[in-house]
């Protein structure tokens, strides 16, 4: 009986995706734990830490598909962690060889390494989804780089811009998110195998040898030192997700505001019934935007919870570690949902250039008052020009006249700027500054994975890891 939106048969695809649910499912968690236990036995058998024939038996007989989840739950409820119960079942599967399972390991070694493997797969999905949003935004920019619209500051019309420029600002955030993702990999894809108190004392002088072999077996890095209670890297992962979803929510907020009836400049893709009201047939609500904004709010709260987890006591935390079990999977689920909704919204965004131009004309030219002021300032100085144009703006606003009408009435203006020049100045399309050059710079910003964006061999390897992140759940 589901009790949260992440599990609900009604809401689960609004606040997650099937792929991300699979990655963090009980079945996948147990399968990864079995994989890690088998990998540990394999390398220890190869190194002579445990008998080689026992290692072969463990590899042959340990089977995640045969785990009894009801029994595992009962023992987890008793012990507080699932690994003891899992090892008990695996030991029965492996017969006499089972006594060599989990040799020198502690529960958190297995659980942390499982989590890293899940993060590796989940971040691969996030990277793919970010690339899709990048493509959708790039398409919007190329289509609308010359579509003039009003830029707004403090929710008021400010100066002209283009919709392509606005989308390029959005793209810049997504490109930075993709770079941050790459930069995370070397700090996060690290094995955990350190024993009961982090010293690997149970393996004598061979602990680091086993640790390095296990890391290589799982295609993970070796830590410089135990990270049982050094949780900054995991907190960084969720704070990265919080930053990413916050960027998506900024885009969603802009689109939702543009969908307002009084603005009507852009709309989420239309589908019969989508965004409708149960009582108001005319409604077209910004459903994707709302879900993105809600997901981002949730992930920001989980980011705080993960930071709490960094404040861990001594060599094994009493509570902060368990808080990660709540925050981390749900952060990935909510982020995946926000990315899916963003791709859906941006790939089919309906843009109305005519309404954008109409809204530009609402103030009768006041939106380009700065253009007139700067042109006039060349003759009489900025402060004097400001006062003259300000007076014309106030008169236009009070009378309902267009700005050019009031400007033409002022000899101090027409003495320097004739009517053709004034008409040129009050055309919003002529006051776009460096919009096109900045769009080009945003589009040419290196994407994650481009050779020019990699600053080290570690980042290069990370880019490859993003591309080749595991796509299937292990069964053994």
- Annotated catalytic residues are 154, 277
CA–CA separation, 396 vs 410, rounded Å?
13
CA–CA separation, 152 vs 212, rounded Å?
56
Task: Give Cα 330 distance to the centre of its chain.
Answer: 13
174-185 burial, b for 16+ CB within 10 Å, e for fewer?
bbebbbbbbbbb
3-state class of 12 per DSSP? coil
CA–CA separation, 467 vs 445, rounded Å?
20
SS3 content of the chain, % helix, strand, coil (to 5): 65, 5, 30
CA–CA separation, 59 vs 37, rounded Å?
9
Got the DSSP string for 162-188?
Answer: EHHHHHHHHHHHHHHHHHHHHHHHHHH
- The dihedral sign for the CA sequence 19, 24, 30, 36: positive
Task: Tell me the two tokens of residue 379.
Answer: 């003759």
Q: Which contacts qualify for 73-81: CB closer than 8 Å, 24 or more apart? A: 81/107, 81/111
Q: Are 389 and 369 in contact (CB under 8 A)?
A: yes
Hunting for tokens 């042959």 — which residue is that?
Answer: 60
């Amino acid at each position: 009986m589901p009790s949260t939106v992440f599990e609900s048969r009604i809401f689960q695809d609004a606040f997650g995706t099937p792929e991300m649910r699979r990655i963090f499912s009980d079945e996948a968690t147990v399968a990864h734990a079995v994989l890690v236990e088998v990998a540990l036995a394999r390398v220890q058998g190869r190194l002579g830490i445990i008998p080689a024939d026992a290692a072969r038996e463990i590899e042959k007989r340990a089977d995640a598909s045969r785990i009894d989840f009801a029994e595992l739950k009962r023992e987890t409820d008793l012990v507080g962690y699932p690994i003891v119960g899992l090892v008990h079942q695996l030991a029965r599967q492996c017969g006499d060889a089972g006594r060599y399972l989990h040799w020198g390991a502690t529960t958190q070694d297995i659980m942390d390494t499982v989590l890293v493997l899940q993060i590796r797969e989940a971040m691969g999905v996030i990277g793919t989804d970010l690339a899709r949003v990048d493509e959708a935004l790039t398409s919007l920019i190329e289509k609308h780089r010359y579509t003039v619209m009003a830029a707004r500051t403090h929710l008021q019309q400010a100066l002209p811009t283009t919709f392509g420029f606005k989308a390029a600002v959005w793209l810049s955030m997504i490109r930075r998110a993709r770079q941050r993702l790459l930069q995370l990999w070397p700090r996060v894809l690290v094995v955990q195998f350190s024993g009961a108190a982090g010293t690997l004392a149970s393996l004598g002088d061979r602990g680091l040898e086993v640790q390095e072999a296990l890391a290589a077996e799982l295609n993970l890095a070796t830590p410089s030192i135990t990270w049982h209670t050094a949780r900054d890297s995991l907190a960084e992962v969720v704070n990265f997700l919080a930053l990413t979803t916050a960027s998506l929510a900024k885009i969603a907020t802009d689109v939702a505001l543009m969908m307002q009836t009084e603005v009507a400049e852009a709309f989420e893709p239309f589908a019969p019934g989508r965004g409708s009201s149960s009582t108001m047939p005319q409604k077209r609500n910004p459903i994707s935007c709302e879900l993105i904004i809600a997901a981002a709010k949730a992930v920001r709260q989980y980011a705080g919870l993960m930071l709490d987890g960094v404040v861990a006591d001594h060599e094994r935390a009493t509570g902060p570690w368990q808080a990660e079990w709540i925050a981390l999977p749900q952060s990935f689920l909510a982020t995946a949902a926000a990315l899916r909704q963003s791709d859906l919204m941006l790939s089919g965004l309906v843009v109305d250039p005519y309404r954008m131009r109409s809204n530009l004309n609402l103030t009768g030219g006041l939106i380009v008052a700065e253009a007139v002021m700067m042109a006039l300032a060349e003759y009489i100085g900025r402060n004097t020009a400001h006062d003259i144009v300000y007076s014309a703006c106030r008169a236009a606003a009070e009378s309902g006249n267009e700005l050019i009408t009031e400007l033409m009435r002022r000899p101090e203006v027409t003495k320097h700027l004739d009517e053709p020049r004034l008409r040129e100045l009050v055309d919003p399309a002529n006051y776009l500054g460096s919009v096109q050059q900045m769009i080009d710079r945003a589009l040419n910003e290196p994407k994650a994975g481009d050779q020019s964006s990699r600053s080290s061999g570690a980042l290069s390897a990370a880019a490859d890891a993003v591309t080749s992140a595991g796509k299937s759940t292990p069964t053994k």
